[in-house]
Amino acid sequence: MTISVYRHDTPKKGLNMINLKTIIHTIDVPLAFIFLGSGVLLSCLTNFPQFRKLSEFFKILQLKKSQESTINTLSPLQALYTAMSTSLGMGNIISPAVAIALGGPGALFWMAMYAIFGSVTKFIEVVFAVKYKRYAKDGSIIGGPTGYLYHIHPWLANWYGMLTIFLFSSWSALQAKTLAVIYQHHGVAQYTSGAILAAFVFCMLLSGTKTIGKFASKAVPILFIFYLCIAFVIIFSDLTTLSGALASIFQHAFTPTAPIGGFVGASTVIGLRQGIFKGAFTTEAGVGTAAIPHSYSATNDPIQQGILGMYSIFMNTFLCMVSGLVALVTGVWTMGNVSNDLAFYAFEKAMPQFGPIALTATITMCILGATLGNSFNGSKSFGFFTNNRWMVAYYVFVALFIFLGAIVDTPTLWDLADFILPLIVLPNLAGLFILTLKNRKELSS
């Protein structure tokens, strides 16, 4: 999951009959507690696999079969990288800075807490996505939350599948807008960026599952390493400032953050809400969407694939922690400018010449991977209804959506995406609890 660059004070147009922003802010507090509470309860029901399965995770990475696939499947590792390409990206770079700017340094503590318990939510999502996948007439796989929700009730699967078609399209459009805004600063017209991105995604989708998997398996490690190298230079350039930043994370996890600079201050509840909410949205644990690529894994062992998905959250959250520390040590969170381009200010302040260029390169990789991953996931929701027929029509639709997203003002579209999320999360979590109780012995072993 990823977020687009636009300022929070951007005037909203359209949907005058319903104030989506008010609705979203009303429901995000209880939803944050539902996210965390679900992870804690599922951990108890499954005997805390996030602690029991670590050694098995490293063994799976070394297995030869983890790199094997067939014509209609991904290798277990390719499935992992494809899933990570949607969650490992802009959200990890931007969300932590925004969370701190709104909730104080303690938000990073709660983001880490959610990773610990939300990892079990993702573990269970992936296990059931693999276990309950089915095959279309052409031999291709139809899987993900629609597969396991169908075993509870077809209506739940239809509800989830229909909403995610629009959710993934909205995310792809927002990614396109982000890319267009970035490259406009380099003299590239927004429609040009949109057209190039749309053509890239369309061609990759036509190329099939294996091509997407190969791209993700190359792009994700490169993105991860490149960004970390640059961020570490910023973080470790002043060890005194770094130690103060680390102390503030724990200090303000349970105490309010006082006003400083342009930062207006934040209560403990706001910090908790921001950390959990941003953590859930960047990892996609509880949303179920990251389980879709995992269902395409060439494995007959759902537990092993679930273990891969579970520990991917910690790599994701580690990147969030690094991004949050960049915001803390550079002090941009105290500017009072709560916007999605805080990361740009941080890199520009720390490395005026090289920073913005490096961040632009990183974000480009993020957006390519995330847009492709979201479009791939959306195609699987579409395929659930059509038995994987008429897929080219969907590819055309999403390519057009990407192009329009690059040239049209999209804050209302982002609000719609936020509004749709609870409608997806709540039935998904309900389905996970029902299936977990039925399969508790398998999950706890």
For residue 313, give the 3-state DSSP assignment: helix
Neighbour-count burial for 255-291, b at 16+ CB within 10 Å, e otherwise:
eebeeeeebeebebebbbbbbbbbbbbbbbbbbbbbb
More confident residue, 186 or 283: 283
Average pLDDT in the 232-242 region? 92
Residue 351: predicted pLDDT: 85
Pick from 193, 173, 190, 7: nearest CA to 94: 7
pLDDT, tens digit, 9 for 90 and up, residues 199-215 = 988 988 888 656 666 66
Above 60 in pLDDT, residue 76?
A: yes
Q: Is residue 64 domain-resident? A: yes
More confident residue, 257 or 217: 257
- The encoded tokens of residue 205 equal 């989708």
More confident residue, 62 or 241: 241
Decide: 330 and 234 in contact? Cβ < 8 Å.
yes
Phi, psi of 134 (to 5 degrees): -135, 170
Query: Could you tell me the CATH number of the domain that includes residue 325?
Result: 1.20.1740.10
At residue 216 the predicted structure's pLDDT band, cuts being 50, 70 and 90, is: low
Position 436, amino acid:
T
CA–CA distance, 444 with 261 (Å, rounded to integer): 49
Residue 16: predicted pLDDT: 47
Q: Is residue 346 domain-resident? A: yes
Q: Is residue 114 domain-resident? A: yes
Residue 368: predicted pLDDT: 80
Position 291, amino acid:
A
Q: Which residues contact 370 (CB under 8 A, 6 or more apart)?
A: 2, 85, 86, 89, 90, 171, 175
CB atoms within 10 A of CB 335: 18
pLDDT, tens digit, 9 for 90 and up, residues 175-198 = 788 788 778 877 888 889 999 999
Name the burial class of residue 211, with classes exposed (0-12), middle (13-18) and buried (19+) by CB atoms within 10 angstroms of its CB: middle
Above 60 in pLDDT, residue 70?
A: no
Residue 239: predicted pLDDT: 92
- Domain of 358? 29-444
Residue 84: predicted pLDDT: 64
Q: Which residues contact 13 (CB under 8 A, 6 or more apart)?
A: 409, 411, 412
Least confident window among 4-13, 221-230, 264-273, 327-336: 4-13
At residue 78 the predicted structure's pLDDT band, cuts being 50, 70 and 90, is: low
Above 80 in pLDDT, residue 314?
A: yes
Among 11-15, 30-34, 301-305, 434-438, top mean pLDDT goes to: 434-438
- Percentage of the chain beyond pLDDT 90 is 25
Q: Is residue 5 domain-resident? A: no
Q: Is residue 228 domain-resident? A: yes
Neighbour-count burial for 47-60, b at 16+ CB within 10 Å, e otherwise:
eebbeebeeeeeeb
Q: Is residue 22 domain-resident? A: no
CA–CA distance, 101 with 6 (Å, rounded to integer): 15
How many distinct structural domains can be found in the chain? 1
Above 50 in pLDDT, residue 17?
A: no
Write the DSSP symbol of residue 62. H
Q: Is residue 14 domain-resident? A: no
Above 80 in pLDDT, residue 352?
A: yes
Q: Is residue 99 domain-resident? A: yes
- The encoded tokens of residue 87 equal 């969650």
At residue 90 the predicted structure's pLDDT band, cuts being 50, 70 and 90, is: low
Decide: 257 and 265 in contact? Cβ < 8 Å.
yes
CA–CA distance, 59 with 116 (Å, rounded to integer): 21
Residue 269: predicted pLDDT: 86
What end-to-end distance do the CA atoms of the chain give, in Å?
Answer: 31
Opening angle at CA 72, ends 69 and 77, nearest 5: 35
Decide: 312 and 350 in contact? Cβ < 8 Å.
no
Q: Which residues contact 296 (CB under 8 A, 6 or more apart)?
A: 72, 73, 74, 79, 82, 133, 141, 143, 209, 213
At residue 7 the predicted structure's pLDDT band, cuts being 50, 70 and 90, is: very low
At residue 416 the predicted structure's pLDDT band, cuts being 50, 70 and 90, is: low
How would DSSP label each residue in 112-155?
A: HHHHHHHHHHHHHHHHHHHHT-EE-TTS-EE-SHHHHHHTT-HH
Decide: 251 and 105 in contact? Cβ < 8 Å.
yes
